[in-house]
Amino acid sequence: MFIPIIVFVLLTSSVHTKVTVNANLHNLIHNIVAFNEKAKATIKHTTDNNVTIAYNKIRDYAVKSDFNEITNNSIDSDTTANRSVSDNGTALILTPLIEQEKYAEARTTCRVDSTYFLGIESYSGYLTVNKTYNSNLFFWYFPSTQGAVNGTPWIIWLQGGPGASSMTGLFDEIGPFTFEPQKGLKRNPNTWAVNHSLLFIDNPVGTGFSFTDSTSGFTKDMTTYSSHLYSALDQFLTIFPELRRAPLYIAGESYGGKYAPSLAMEIHKRKLASEIDLNLQGLIMGNAYIDPQAITHLTRTFYNFGLIDDAQKKIVEPLEESFRGDIAANRSVAAKSKWNYLVTALILLSYQRHAYNFLKDDMSVGKYSVLFARPEIRRAIHVGNINFRMVNLTVNSELAPEFLSSARPLMETLLEHYRVLAYCGQLDQMMACTMSSESYGRWRWSGAGEFHNATRYPFLHEGKVAGYHKSGGRLTEVVVRGAGHMVPMDAGGAAQALVAAFTRDIPISKPNFVIATDTLKSFIKNGTNSIYL
Q: If we measure between CA atoms, which residue out of 228, 283, 229, 288 comes closest to residue 256?
A: 288
Q: Is the dihedral of CA 216, 221, 223, 226 positive or negative?
A: positive
Active site residue 114: no
Name the helix (H) or strand (E) containing 479. strand 475-480
Q: Enumerate the β-bridge partners of residue 425.
A: 480
CB of 62 closer than 8 Å to CB of 17: no
Q: If we measure between CA atoms, which residue out of 243, 271, 273 comes closest to residue 156?
A: 243
C-alpha angle 504/411/470, rounded to 5°? 50
Q: Enumerate the β-bridge partners of residue 93.
A: 126
Q: If we measure between CA atoms, which residue out of 12, 33, 25 comes closest to residue 311?
A: 33
DSSP state of 325: H
Interatomic CA distance for residues 72 and 82, integer angstroms: 15
Strands across the sheet with 154-158, in order? Answer: 123-130, 135-142, 197-202, 154-158, 248-253, 280-286, 419-425, 475-480, 464-472, 457-461
CA 301 and chain centroid, separation: 19
Those residues whose C-beta lies under 8 Å from the C-beta of residue 274, and which sit 6 or more positions away, are none
Q: Enumerate the β-bridge partners of residue 180.
A: 184
CA 237 and chain centroid, separation: 24
Cβ count near 330 (within 10 Å): 11
Active site residue 452: no
Q: Which residue in 254, 350, 436, 439 is the catalytic one?
A: 254
Interatomic CA distance for residues 199 and 421, integer angstroms: 18
Active site residue 322: no
For 215-261, give the DSSP string: GGGS--SHHHHHHHHHHHHHHHHHH-GGGGSS-EEEEEETTHHHHHH
Q: Which residue in 262, 428, 469, 490 is the catalytic one?
A: 428
Residue type, 143: P
CB of 200 closer than 8 Å to CB of 157: yes
Interatomic CA distance for residues 36 and 30, integer angstroms: 10
Name the helix (H) or strand (E) containing 421. strand 419-425
- Indicate which residues carry an active-site annotation: 254, 428, 485
